[in-house]
């Protein structure tokens, strides 16, 4: 960068859109936390970064967040940061020899005795589980590698038969898929991590272990308006009240890894589609996560099945697709992002993409804002439109337009860097931070200027401008205007 080049000139210069509508969320870890690698991931196609609070110290995460913000400043593009909370972890106690072998079809007891366990029993240091479990329910240990079926339970012990036995070692995780576990979604560690994350100015908080809409209440209270709240759907119990959870959240993550532990593998794909469709219908961003390009942790190319998996999420209209260990700890982080970018771009260029991404009927709510957002898509389908320019302070208008999944690119103009960063996870949105508008004439002039600067349009191109009057009032979308770019304007703006 030239020493004469200021931050304002960097922010003002043209930043090309990605050329695709689905967004890429890359997890940061040991393989990708250096400023150099973060920049390489960004240039390869990452639109947002996930900071996994389950691992690492606050000082390390703080350095990562600072590096991402420096990257954002250098390239003049808003970048979303999602801080993913660990959530409560149910674990068994310890064993006399560090491990034991549970026999297939044998009996095994989980109890409250703190003494080290053996091949017949082990401590389960979670008193809230005793008394709520019933005969026939399952307990899965070590990511489902050991599967126990409950025979009987009391206040002091849980007797199980081993449907699938094997080696069990100290403090392995326990999943209880058939019961609603009466523990809050936030632990003390989560509260500390959340406080740190919002102080650092992250844009999204990912909440784990969501089972019911009430689980979001405490996190929402602690966050306030400082960040958006993403509910991770990783527990089968959450599906029972999915629509309420979506209503209480700002976005949804389909956490397929954890879902796949508590469900049979063949149950996850239709459930993924159900969650994506429900979030899309509600107009909330939805992220498909976990094991998307899993083999690229070790290999430079993915399997054909993994490519199809990513492609299906794009065809289903997910707002974002996520890389986990592939970018956090794998040997090919940059290649993983590049591959995901190429898959998504190729899918969106396919002939049947438009029909498939719009298969879901999302009728507008009975509001002026929804009616106008729906009209944007109708106009763009009827008349050749080069861009939908959305003026928004809160991002709600952009979410309404994105809900329709229009073919036309969406240029989101906002005076709020916070809003621009959150929008970085929204389908089809290219956000630009710019000064607020104060009049209709200023809106039209700025819409044209920004469209030209960012490569949306040429002489004769038509733009849709969507905004609210009075300007700067959140939630007041009530104005739609179609304008035409002229040759004089192209010459004036040097385009």
Does residue 292 contact residue 340 with C-beta atoms inside 8 Å? yes
Measured distance CA(319)–CA(176) in Å, rounded = 30
Q: Which of 261, 310, 303, 223 is nearest to 45 (CA)?
A: 310
Q: Which helix (H) or strand (E) holds 274?
A: helix 268-282
Q: Which of 261, 274, 265, 310 is nearest to 289 (CA)?
A: 310
- Token readout for 273 is 């589609």
**Residue 56, SS3 per DSSP:** coil
Measured distance CA(364)–CA(200) in Å, rounded = 36
Cis? peptide before 470, omega within 30° of 0: yes
Query: Which are the catalytic amino acids?
Result: 50, 91, 232, 290
- Token readout for 30 is 């040991």
Residues 6 or more apart whose CB falls under 8 angstroms from that of 329 comprise 29, 30, 31, 297
Measured distance CA(201)–CA(66) in Å, rounded = 10
Measured distance CA(324)–CA(107) in Å, rounded = 36
Torsion, CA 268, CA 274, CA 275, CA 280, rounded to 10: 150
Residues 6 or more apart whose CB falls under 8 angstroms from that of 298 comprise 330, 331
Measured distance CA(73)–CA(451) in Å, rounded = 21
Does residue 130 contact residue 158 with C-beta atoms inside 8 Å? yes
Q: Which of 18, 14, 82, 6 is nearest to 45 (CA)?
A: 18
DSSP label of 313: H
Count each helix (H run) and each strand (E run) in the chain, helices first: 17, 21
Buried b (16+ CB within 10 A) or exposed e, 77-112: bbbbbbbbbbbbebbbbbbeeeebebeeeeebbbbb
CA-derived radius of gyration, the chain: 25
């Amino acid at each position: 960068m030239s020493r004469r080049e200021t931050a304002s000139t960097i922010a003002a210069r043209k930043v090309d859109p990605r050329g695709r509508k689905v967004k890429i969320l890359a997890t940061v870890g040991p393989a990708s936390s250096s400023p150099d690698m973060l920049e390489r991931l960004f240039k390869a196609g990452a639109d947002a970064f996930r900071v996994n609070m389950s691992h690492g110290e606050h000082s390390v995460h703080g350095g990562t967040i600072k590096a991402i913000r420096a990257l954002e400043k250098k390239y003049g593009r808003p970048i979303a940061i999602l801080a993913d909370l660990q959530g409560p972890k149910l674990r068994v106690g310890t064993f006399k020899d560090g491990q034991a072998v549970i026999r297939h079809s044998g009996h095994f007891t989980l109890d409250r005795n703190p003494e080290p366990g053996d091949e017949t029993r082990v401590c389960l240091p979670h008193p809230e589980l005793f008394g709520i479990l019933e005969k026939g329910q399952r307990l899965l240990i070590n990511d489902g590698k050991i599967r126990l079926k409950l025979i009987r339970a009391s206040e002091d012990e849980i007797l199980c038969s081993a449907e699938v036995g094997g080696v069990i070692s100290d403090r392995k995780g326990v999943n209880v898929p058939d019961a609603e576990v009466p523990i809050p979604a936030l632990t003390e560690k989560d509260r500390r991590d959340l406080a740190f994350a919002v102080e650092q100015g992250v844009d999204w908080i990912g909440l784990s272990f969501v089972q019911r809409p009430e689980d979001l209440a405490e996190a929402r209270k602690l966050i306030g308006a400082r960040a958006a709240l993403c509910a991770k759907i990783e527990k089968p119990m959450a599906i029972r009240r999915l629509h309420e959870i979506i209503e209480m959240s700002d976005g949804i993550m389909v956490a397929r890894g954890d879902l796949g532990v508590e469900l049979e593998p063949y149950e996850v794909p239709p459930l993924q589609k159900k969650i994506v469709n429900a979030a899309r219908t509600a107009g909330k961003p939805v992220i498909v996560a976990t094991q998307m390009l899993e083999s690229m942790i070790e290999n430079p190319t993915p399997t054909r099945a993994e490519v199809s998996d990513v492609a299906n999420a794009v065809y289903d209209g997910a707002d974002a697709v996520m890389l986990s260990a592939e970018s956090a700890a794998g040997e090919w982080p940059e290649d993983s992002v590049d591959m995901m970018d190429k898959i998504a771009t190729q899918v969106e260029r396919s002939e049947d993409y438009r029909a498939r991404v719009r298969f879901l009927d999302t009728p507008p709510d009975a509001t002026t804002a929804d009616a106008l957002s729906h009209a944007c898509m109708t106009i763009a389908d009827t008349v050749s439109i080069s861009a939908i320019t959305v003026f928004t302070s809160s991002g709600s208008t952009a979410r309404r337009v994105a809900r329709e999944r229009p073919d036309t690119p969406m240029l989101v103009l906002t005076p709020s860097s916070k809003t621009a960063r959150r929008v970085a996870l929204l389908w089809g949105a290219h956000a630009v931070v710019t000064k607020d508008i104060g009049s209709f004439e200023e809106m039209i002039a700025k819409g044209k200027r920004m469209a030209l600067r960012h490569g949306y349009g040429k002489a004769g191109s038509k733009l849709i401008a969507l905004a609210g009057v009075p300007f700067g009032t959140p939630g007041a979308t009530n104005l739609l205007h179609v304008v035409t770019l002229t040759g004089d304007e192209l010459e004036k703006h040097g385009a």
